[in-house]
Amino acid sequence: MSEIAPVLQVDRLVKHFPVSRGLIRRKVIGMVRAVEGVSFEIARGETLALVGESGCASLNPRMTVGEILAEPMAVHDLHTEAERETRVGELLDVVGLLPEQARRYPHQFSGGQRQRIGIARALAVNPDLIVCDEPVSALDVSIQAQIVNLLQNLQRRFGLSYLFIAHDLAVVKHISDRVAVMYLGKLVEIASKRDLYERPLHPYTQALLSAIPRPDPRVRRKRMLLAGDVPSPFAPPSGCRFHTRCPFAQARCREDEPLLREAGDGHRVACHFYETLPAPSIAAAAGPAAGKFVERLAAFEAAKQARTPTVIPTS
Ligand code: SF4
């Protein structure tokens, strides 16, 4: 961890959602344990990727883009009305859109442009930290690369920190400094990007990474397939939550919950036996899926190298 004070420090965060039943007299019958004792920190200018469950956010279809961007400033009582109007134009310019597009509605923009509007809205209150919840998952690969480039440019320009929530490990590899992996509401591994991709210690992380085919047809390594589905967060398994699917589970794993432990250089992992597990096979076998992935990765790389257009025409 950096010696400079982090911009975000999360300490044993717990989030449970009540589940109720009954039409007239609703009764809480249990809790969905969405987040359970999660701790991490994010330094200034750092991107921490969280590989886990997604949330959702949308732009209000009844508001113009100008109103959408001005709203957070009004809520935080920032600027006069005239200043907000000027700021809306500046924000659109910063994310590569035209100030005059402020009068349009969200449906008049493409998916990539709507993501730019979402980013502009987050920038409206001059944040230190932005939570990017699946910011590129619905976009095609060239637009994904443009948004990732935009986020990285803005990070350099404004010293922003990002909490980047995503499922796509190829995108995560491009944008993150560190990666945290969650399973059933628990943090199971956290490490620098390089360490996590080269030396994954938790079997769940190993399984996730083994699903990424290597862009080298000569590399043929075994994919680690997990048995069964993810158990319900309504009634998570005892002990290690991953034990029902872990190929290395032992009797202790059913009873004793593993804590997140330091494994060197800030790499932390929650597994009783990580030191004695076999070396991971983190590249999948070549095949049709591999070909598709390699194609996609190459397209992403190419699009990322290409110069991001300042203004993207409305579709
Ligand atoms: S603690 Fe046991 S079940 Fe959990 S990941 Fe490690 S080996 Fe697998």
Report the chain's C-alpha Rg in angstroms: 22
273 lines ligand 1 (CB under 6 A): yes
Residues 241-280: b if buried by 16+ CB within 10 A, e if exposed: bbbbbbebbeeebeeebbebeebeeebbbbbbebeeeeeb
Distance (Å, whole) CA 91 – CA 123: 7
183 lines ligand 1 (CB under 6 A): no
249 lines ligand 1 (CB under 6 A): yes
158 lines ligand 1 (CB under 6 A): no
Query: How far is ligand 1, taken at its centre, from the CA of residue 273, in Å?
Result: 7
pLDDT at 158: 93
pLDDT at 112: 87
200 lines ligand 1 (CB under 6 A): no
SS3 readout for 86-120: HHHHHHHHHCCCCHHHHHCCHHHCCHHHHHHHHHH
pLDDT at 264: 92
- Nearest one of 71, 2, 74, 78 to 41, comparing CA atoms: 2
Average pLDDT of the segment spanning 260-280: 90
191 lines ligand 1 (CB under 6 A): no
248 lines ligand 1 (CB under 6 A): yes
pLDDT at 285: 35
Question: What residue's CA is closest to ligand 1, atom 5?
Answer: 271
Of the ranges 77-81, 113-117, 211-215, which one carries the lowest mean pLDDT score?
211-215
Q: Could you report the per-residue pLDDT of 118-156, keeping only the tens digit for each?
A: 999 999 999 999 999 888 877 888 888 888 999 999 999
Question: What residue's CA is closest to ligand 1, atom 1?
Answer: 271
Q: How far apart are the first and last CA of the chain?
A: 44
Beta partners for residue 189, in sequence order: 181, 269
pLDDT at 293: 44
Query: How far is ligand 1, taken at its centre, from the CA of residue 290, in Å?
Result: 28
Q: Could you report the per-residue pLDDT of 13-63, keeping only the tens digit for each?
A: 999 888 877 767 778 888 888 888 999 999 999 999 999 644 444 888 889
Distance (Å, whole) CA 128 – CA 131: 10
Task: Return the percent helix, strand and coil in the chain, to nearest 5.
Answer: 35, 20, 45
Shortest-distance atom of ligand 1 to CA 241: 4
Query: How far is ligand 1, taken at its centre, from the CA of residue 214, in Å?
Result: 26
DSSP state of 213: B
pLDDT at 290: 42
Of the ranges 142-151, 159-168, 235-244, 259-268, which one carries the lowest mean pLDDT score?
142-151
Dihedral sign from CA coordinates of 46, 51, 55, 59: positive
pLDDT bin (cut points 50, 70, 90) of residue 218 is low
246 lines ligand 1 (CB under 6 A): yes
pLDDT at 210: 80
- Nearest one of 277, 272, 237 to 254, comparing CA atoms: 237
Beta partners for residue 15, in sequence order: 35
Q: Is 50 left (phi over 0), alpha (psi -120 to 50) or beta?
A: beta
Q: Could you report the per-residue pLDDT of 64-95, keeping only the tens digit for each?
A: 999 999 999 999 999 999 999 999 999 999 99
Identify the residue with better confidence: 221 or 128: 128
- Nearest one of 249, 190, 258 to 49, comparing CA atoms: 190
pTM, two decimals, is 0.80
